[in-house]
Amino acid sequence: MTGLRDALLSRDETRLPGRRDEDWRWTDLRGTLRPLPAVSDAVQPLAAFDEPEGVQVRRFAAPVTAGTFDASLSVAAGETLWLLDRVDAGAGAYARDLALDITLGEGATLHRLVLAADSADAVSVTRAMVSLAPGATFHQTVLATGGKRQRIETAVAHPGAGARARLDGAYLLADGRHSDQTTILDHQGPGGTSEQLIRGVAADQARGVFQGRITVAVGADGTDARLKHNALLLSDRAEIDAKPELEIYADDVACAHGNTVGTLDAEVLFYAMSRGIPEVEARLMLVEAFVGEIVERIGPAPLQDAARAFVADQLEALRR
């Protein structure tokens, strides 16, 4: 087995995933985490607590310390829950692996917002394994600002049967930060829908990674799966790596994926500047609009507000 968790628990750095592992080629931990930090050899449980004011919001606060952590959450049949999954901006060079098990019962709804503000020196891997029952709705938005190496992985086991999954995300990266959003959407039964919209911005020498794999199993007929990744490079030295993958073994499915990487439109920038908006402001305005579409898709207003505030903070980091 390889993975940050296995390496940390066994204190064996050869188990770190590196660039020779197909799924980790752009998120090399082996070359980054040397020597391996010593952490507790036990996985620590992480409890969810209710937000004091938001009746429906449950919250995980990932600790900004080294170690391996487990958390789980289940939403009962027919229930609705909002989950704010937050890594607060911290300092220091921690290596953290967090595994989250999420189960949605029949007809249940979960809105998950991940605000990942790791420190610049952090090596952080967050993995969510989401299992949907028939008729369940899972809406997720991941907003990430990167770390030394930051990976946010979401794997959805999708039964079809009227269940719906939406995996949105955005990364806003400055300096030499790295962020990797990886999704694995496994359509296992007929009649399921999924959509993904990921927007990314990389400035300075930052590196953004998006990997999205959609598999449609034998018999998962009538699946409708869509995936779109659009990224903007704000500097010549920034890098975006994207790998959308479709594996389809069923008939009569509608699958689409699109991937674009570009720069801010010089003509639009000139237009804004010709109205008196200084260049830095004009760039930020266009970046905000680009990422704003992700924020606007978030249903629950308190989550949308939290997301908007998070993006506004990060835009300040890009103001240079």
Partner 1 sequence: MLHIDNLHVSVADKPIIKGLTLDLPAGEVHAIMGPNGAGKSTLSYTLAGRAGYEVTGGAATLDGEDLLAMDPAARAARGVFLSFQYPLEIPGVPALTFVRTALNAQRKARGEAEIGAPEFLKRARATAAALKMDFEMLRRGLNVGFSGGEKKRMEIFQMALLEPRLLILDETDSGLDIDALRIVSEGVNALRSEGRSMLVITHYQRLLDYIRPDRVHVLAAGRIVASGGPELALELEREGYDKYASAA
273 binds partner 1 (CB under 8 A): yes
CB of 277 to partner 1, least distance (A): 5
274 binds partner 1 (CB under 8 A): yes
CB of 288 to partner 1, least distance (A): 8
97 binds partner 1 (CB under 8 A): no
Residue nearer to partner 1 on the CB measure, 134 or 292: 292
| Amino acid at residue number 256 | A
Here's the x/- map for partner 1, 282-301, by CB under 8 A: it reads as: x--xx-xxx-xx--------
Task: Tell me which DSSP letter residue 14 carries.
Answer: G
* Sheet containing 149-158, strands listed edge to edge, beginning at the edge strand earlier in sequence: 44-45, 67-75, 95-104, 123-132, 149-158, 178-187, 207-216, 239-248
Q: Tokens 């190496």 identify what position?
A: 149
Tell me the DSSP string of 112-140.
Answer: EEEEE---TT-EEEEEEEEEE-TT-EEEE
Task: Quote the radius of gyration of the chain (alpha carbons, Å).
Answer: 19
Q: Which stretch binds partner 1 (CB under 8 A): 43-51, 119-127, 229-237, 262-270?
A: 262-270
Q: Tokens 């008939």 identify what position?
A: 251
Among 22, 236, 252, 267, binds partner 1 (CB under 8 A): 267
Task: Count interface residues toward partner 1 (CB under 8 A).
Answer: 23
Here's the x/- map for partner 1, 182-201, by CB under 8 A: it reads as: --------------------
Among 272, 302, 304, 317, binds partner 1 (CB under 8 A): 272
Distance CA 74, CA 69 (A): 17
236 binds partner 1 (CB under 8 A): no
Which is nearest to 136 in space by CA: 86, 85, 191? 191
Q: Which residues pair with 216 in a beta bridge?
A: 187, 248
Q: Which stretch binds partner 1 (CB under 8 A): 59-67, 110-118, 212-220, 274-282?
A: 274-282
Q: Which residues would be at the binding site for partner 1 (CB under 8 A)? A: 265-268, 270-279, 281-282, 285-286, 288-290, 292-293
